[in-house]
Amino acid sequence: MLNSANITIDNNVFYLARKYIASARDLKNYKFTNNLLIGARSRPSMVGAPMGDNIACYIQYKGINYNTDNNLVQDNLCQGSELTGFIFPFTPCEFIGKSSTIGFIDNTAGSARIGVMLNVVPGACIGGERIRAYSCDIGYLASPPGPREIYYTDFMLADNQRSMGLRNGHASYGHDNCTATFKNSWISAISRPTCDYCYGTGANPCTGNLGLRLLATTINGETLPDKFGSGFDVICKQEALDSKAFLVNVTFDNFRQTYTGVVAHCSNNIVFKPHPIAHDLTGSHHLTQCQCTNCEQNSWAYFTAPPDSELGWFGGCGLIHCTGMNNYIIQDHDGSFFGQVGTLIANNSWVGDGEANCTFNPTLNGYWCPGREDFGVLEYENIAPDYNTRIMWPVSLFYWGGNWTSVTNGYREWEWDGPEPMNRRLGRFVSVVRLNQTYNMTFSAQPPSDTRFQIQKRTPTGDNNDWVSVWIYYPVANAITVMVSNKVSNDSILATDSEDVLNRKSICGANKYFYKNGTVAFIVTGEANCQVRVTLNSNVQITARLVVSIATFFQNNGVATFIDRMCSFLNIPTHRMKVVGVYEGSAIVDAVVLPDVNTTTDNSTTQRNPATDQADLQQVMDRLQSATPSSIDLGSLGPVGSVSGQMSIINSDGSLYQDPVPSKNDNSTTIIVAVVVSVLSVSLVGITSYLVVKKLRSRESIQPEESDERASDIELHIHKEKEFIKGDNDLSFQERALQENKSNLQINQ
């Protein structure tokens, strides 16, 4: 049926057809209801063809206009197909649950390789409802490219080898915030446990059945009719940075390791299991009002270990396993599924062995943490122009007062020239963390010059009570900007202030930059729109000595007044200046002037031109040089005793574009003229190695390198996880082969 209107087909039996029993496309005022379709088979000419034959009882893969087309396909049964039972288009989320007279609902597929498939339609949120499948190899299968959210409700799936999976592709590298919602459904491993002939050889499968393949989101998906079959949800491109799934009122039934009675020969049926190729990210799953009736704890999940085949040059992950399979959680938020509130952690022994009330279960190959709901996932990525050309991993995380240090690898290599990797691994990372703690984050090389952080959301709307404090040391720091959703954070604490960022732990992007030490501390919260961006910037650092006392400075709204007046003098907008420290003698103000803020859409990258930044900032230096201190009017802050400036230009990888060389003019304004030098030069290797070894030697407490005037009582804990190798004027590092056992940070295989 093609390009037709006013068609009604109901109450028929269709028996034994090649390829498709029924096919429909581009129809208006169309009803196909209450029909029985039996025996969809391959065409003889397609037997043995490389892709095989796309077979279905019913196929209508193109989307419909829910406002005008008036299509209804309902209450049909497909019994027996050599490939697929029903192929329908997705439904835009705004039409799900809205009508019983339009759409594709209450159709049942049985004894097929794939019960029901949905094909992509445009929209940020698409889904399906009222789908039924039984006795199939795969009950439900889809992998739509494009949507940010997939939404499923009212599914009934029974006796399938794999009931369903959550899978989508979200457009491109720069997109994230991917969500799956699955509600009001029922999935059974063995729906008729008293039937003595229903299960086993020649009957329904009852061993190794899987309830739900966990969410995997990549930058691509698959589309019918170009691709079809059981490999439709394959992962062949890199995964997104973020994905998570929310299950509400879903019942899983009869998932056990062992059974009794007439189904005693059945075994090893599992509720949750990840996609076998999800090397980099499996979305965490959050359960509310979900149940597992007649289930065993050992069948709650199985956490697949990273395969050894991914190790090495040709494996794509380097000297250690990719860690995406170790860094996701399944949380029961009300105790309905596990019997109490708690968290399952994938086979991550760094965290699991180091946390109280978490026990390793070898059958699950993961950790069960009853009563613990304080775990989450921290997501962070390099978004500088070298995001896929420079190695800065593995990354170590250690929280203050904790007794474990986790190690996170970068994403796997996904770009190949035949069998050869092209060395374009993404600097993306996902790490299970204990929430509401302070972490030292240590990269195995110079940290990215532009990095984005977020907490994977544990509720659909986010939760501001979830937070982490992150501390990062930059061997080559200069100026650091902290932004929230691409706007410079207004919640910055002066380095010379005694206040700690933990006093602002509910404020996304609250930060404190120890500019003499090269360390930045900032807050990331779990609220819906909290994305914190930390950027190294080219800058002019200004030190101004005022005549007024420090008390008078603050009594006159000193920071805001200084920025307003100094920016007016320099003829720059106020958003380009930041005061980083104020200290005694009389009042000495340290401030930085930045180029125009480097903002991008989503998490895409923008190439900065160091020469352009230099020309821009040189105008600031020229203005300082041409003026006398007395010509700088700071209003209520009084006269300026002296002022000095230093310019530093940063390459996109965080290295120094220019090495400052000081010179003085006759009006006490210090101008720093830079000499081009690479951070990877022999001289800077020595400097950087010294700083890194000094600051990253152990997990013991060390103090930030403040001058006597600017001493701080902030304690910094950093763990050294890298080795530097000097040669041919290059600074490189060697990833450590982390051979582990249960007593020493083992990843349980």
Please, what is the average pLDDT of the chain? 85
Task: Choose among 529, 532, 543: nearest CA to 472.
Answer: 532
pLDDT at residue 505 tops 60: yes
Task: Choose among 183, 187, 179: nearest CA to 215.
Answer: 179
pTM: 0.85
pLDDT in tens, 175-195: 678 999 999 999 999 999 999
**With contact defined as beta carbons under 8 Å apart, do 204 and 135 qualify?**
yes
Among 351-360, 422-431, 651-660, 740-749, the minimum mean pLDDT is found in: 740-749
Under the banding of pLDDT at 50, 70 and 90, the label for residue 715 is very low
Is pLDDT larger for residue 714 or for residue 263? 263
End-to-end Cα spacing for the chain: 53
pLDDT, position 607: 64
pLDDT at residue 134 tops 50: yes
pLDDT, position 201: 86
pLDDT in tens, 138-151: 999 999 999 999 99
Under the banding of pLDDT at 50, 70 and 90, the label for residue 653 is confident
CA distance 630 to 256: 82
- Most confident option among 131-140, 198-207, 702-711: 131-140
Among 7-11, 310-314, 337-341, 393-397, the minimum mean pLDDT is found in: 310-314
Per DSSP, 349 falls in state H
pLDDT, position 597: 61
**With contact defined as beta carbons under 8 Å apart, do 275 and 214 qualify?**
yes
In order, the DSSP letters of 392-459 are ---EEEEETT-S-EEEEPPPPP--EETTEE-S----EEEEEEESSEEEEEE-SSSPPSEEEEEEPPSS
Residue 88: half-sphere exposure toward Cβ, Cα within 13 Å: 29
**With contact defined as beta carbons under 8 Å apart, do 640 and 437 qualify?**
no
Among 57-71, 153-167, 474-488, the minimum mean pLDDT is found in: 474-488
Under the banding of pLDDT at 50, 70 and 90, the label for residue 531 is very high
pLDDT, position 738: 31
**Mean pLDDT within 6-30:** 96
CA distance 155 to 143: 17
| CB-count exposure of residue 294 (10 Å: 0-12, 13-18, 19+) | middle
Residue 356 makes CB contacts below 8 A (sequence gap 6+) with: none
Strands (E), 610-669: 640-648, 658-664
pLDDT at residue 48 tops 80: no
Residue 85 DSSP SS3: strand
pLDDT at residue 222 tops 70: yes
Residue 212 DSSP SS3: strand
**Mean pLDDT within 648-660:** 74
Is pLDDT larger for residue 725 or for residue 557? 557
Among 76-80, 176-180, 694-698, the minimum mean pLDDT is found in: 694-698
pLDDT, position 698: 32
Phi, psi of 107 (to 5 degrees): -95, 140
Is pLDDT larger for residue 330 or for residue 101? 330
pLDDT, position 50: 64
Under the banding of pLDDT at 50, 70 and 90, the label for residue 747 is very low
| 231: number of Cβ within 10 Å | 11
Please give the helix or strand (H or E) that residue 562 lies within, else none. helix 558-570
**Mean pLDDT within 263-287:** 96
**Mean pLDDT within 384-402:** 94
CA distance 123 to 146: 8
pLDDT at residue 648 tops 60: yes
Is pLDDT larger for residue 452 or for residue 707? 452
- Most confident option among 294-298, 476-480, 684-688: 294-298
pLDDT, position 295: 97
Among 162-166, 333-337, 524-528, 644-648, the minimum mean pLDDT is found in: 644-648
pLDDT, position 658: 57
pLDDT, position 685: 32
Under the banding of pLDDT at 50, 70 and 90, the label for residue 625 is confident
pLDDT, position 172: 58
**With contact defined as beta carbons under 8 Å apart, do 355 and 348 qualify?**
no
Torsion of CA 302, 307, 310, 311, to 10 degrees: 130
pLDDT at residue 1 tops 60: yes
Helix crossing, 610-626 with 558-570: angle to 10°? 100
Task: Choose among 520, 512, 538: nearest CA to 475.
Answer: 520
Vertex 366: Cα angle to 360 and 371 (nearest 5): 70
Task: Choose among 739, 651, 50, 96: nearest CA to 389.
Answer: 651
Residue 640 CA: distances (Å) to CA of 112, 609, 635: 83, 34, 10
pLDDT, position 675: 29
pLDDT, position 182: 98
b/e code 433-446 from CB counts within 10 Å (16+ = b): bbbbbbbbbbbbbb
Provide the token pair at 327: 């860094």
If you search the block for the tokens 């005037």, which residue do you land on?
A: 709
Q: Assign 3-state DSSP to the chain and report helix, strand, coil percentages, each to 5.
A: 10, 40, 45
Is pLDDT larger for residue 144 or for residue 706? 144
pLDDT, position 630: 87
**With contact defined as beta carbons under 8 Å apart, do 166 and 283 qualify?**
yes
pLDDT at residue 538 tops 80: yes
**Mean pLDDT within 154-174:** 89
| CB-count exposure of residue 227 (10 Å: 0-12, 13-18, 19+) | middle
**Mean pLDDT within 616-636:** 90
| CB-count exposure of residue 573 (10 Å: 0-12, 13-18, 19+) | exposed
**With contact defined as beta carbons under 8 Å apart, do 26 and 49 qualify?**
no
How large a percentage of the chain has pLDDT more than 70?
85
Residue 533: half-sphere exposure toward Cβ, Cα within 13 Å: 23
Amino acid present at 180: A
CA distance 299 to 268: 7
Under the banding of pLDDT at 50, 70 and 90, the label for residue 400 is very high
